[in-house]
Amino acid sequence: MANNQSQGTLGFMDLMSIAVGQIIGAGVMVMSISALGMTGRSVNIAFMIAAVFTLFSTIPTVFVASVARFHGGTYSQFAVFVHPIFAGFMQYTGLLSSVGLGMFGLGLASYIGMLIPAIQNNQIMWAVIFMLIFFALNWFGTAWMAKVQGFMFYFLVAALVLFTVMGLPKVQWGGYFGNELFGQPLFAHGMSGLIEAASYLTYATGGATVILSFSGEAKNPTKDIPMVIIIATLSVAFLYALLATVIGGVLPADEVIAIGNLAPIADLIMPKPLYYFFIIGGAGFALGTTLNSSIASNFPPMLRAAQDGWFPGVLSKVNKHGVPYVWMFIRMALNIAVVLSGFDTGVLGKWTLVIGNVTSFVTIGSVIRIDKLFPEQWAKSPYHVSNPVKALLLGLAMCTQAIQTSMNLKGLTMGIIMLNVVSMVAFGGFATYLYKTGKVHMNPSYELM
């Protein structure tokens, strides 16, 4: 552990582009329409409620990020705040989700294919090509990845703002907030539908906390990362709410739901050149930024875990840009194999869904010790609060997690739940065994700022 030794390369806007790019993904292109079916035109209100839920859930990360630079991101956080075994366990479970990048590659090929039939007719091949391109970009390290992310970030935001600005004048405002527009009520399924939609949309407004993985590369992590998490979450949620107003106010909800994505709506409200810009800069770059940051954010935790002994040492080898290239090639090969096999990547997400929810409660609860682990840094943190207020805020984060957990469990089969339980026992058992053999040698991997 050292003080002020690292010189990061990522500034505030670099972190902002990564956070926003991670939040704005394929999810909003589909989830906003699904939420429309749950609550009707009040989906814009649901987005704002979702933003409040999401902010509560980010409180633990904001607290943690404000006290130190964590070189291994969440891996280092788990090791310090919970236990080294928990850090190893989380890295093992993360292996399953790390090979789910194919969904972004396929989604990118699908949207770009709307403009180029050759891509539409060869989606699997182009999904592989797109993944190869982004893996190649990440070969050159975080600074280069951030430049690419920043480029896509501005086009992405411009495309979504364009959709919103051009769509709002075409919203049928007369009766929008009443019960007469399109002969449909504002709250299609009452307050319960609104809360269900808001809970569901937390997945569309979440994702900013991924930048904790870039703490080691940030110029001023304890100041910038917490602020970026808050600003990115609120600003994207506000944009989503306006965008959702267009989705709910131009056409009847049942027609929009039948369409299933935003492309036909964009075609209706935009001239062709701007429609093409929206498909590439909006839908395409939404997937591209998420794919790009998902590749890069996996490197710091894996590198630290391999250096500590949780994985073979060969995975800790880095190129001249500091990228763990052996792991990158393995991960690239696995993701390509998943796409070529036609395997449903959604199954991988469900495989660790219960595990993720259970461990989230542990992670949130562990932050209560921040004043004991980092007394001086916590006392100086701009986010410092009294112990009772801290307990209250972490309690709200727990409540938000409970809502998300209840949503996640809905629709899961007993087989998937048992697969989660068995995997949890297996990963936890192996992590415990390896740690007790003495083959794991934990490094602090954080700096006091």
DSSP string, 201-235: HHHHH--GGGGGGGGGGBSSHHHHHHHHHHHHHHH
Torsion of CA 32, 34, 35, 36, to 10 degrees: 90
| DSSP category for residue 10 | B
User: Please, which pLDDT band fits residue 345 given cuts at 50, 70 and 90?
Assistant: low
SS3 label, residue 71: coil
Report the SS3 class of residue 70: strand
Average pLDDT over residues 102-108: 83
Its pTM stands at 0.84
Whether residue 341 has pLDDT greater than 70: yes
Position 90 scores a pLDDT of 92
173-207 residue pLDDT tens = 878 887 777 778 888 888 888 888 888 888 778 88
CA dist 172 and 240 (Å) reads 18
Show Cβ contacts of residue 35 under 8 Å, excluding neighbours closer than 6 positions: 43, 46, 47, 197, 200, 201, 244
269: Cα within 13 Å, side-chain hemisphere? 23
- Across the range 115-127, mean pLDDT stands at 86
E-state strands within 316-415: none
Note the pLDDT tens digit of each residue in 137-155.
999 988 888 888 888 888 8
- Higher per-residue confidence, 237 vs 89: 89
Q: Look at residue 294 and tell me whether its pLDDT is greater than 80.
A: yes
How many helices (H) does the chain have, and how many strands (E)?
23, 2
Task: Describe the crossing of helices 353-366 and 74-81 by its angle, rounded to 10 degrees.
Answer: 60
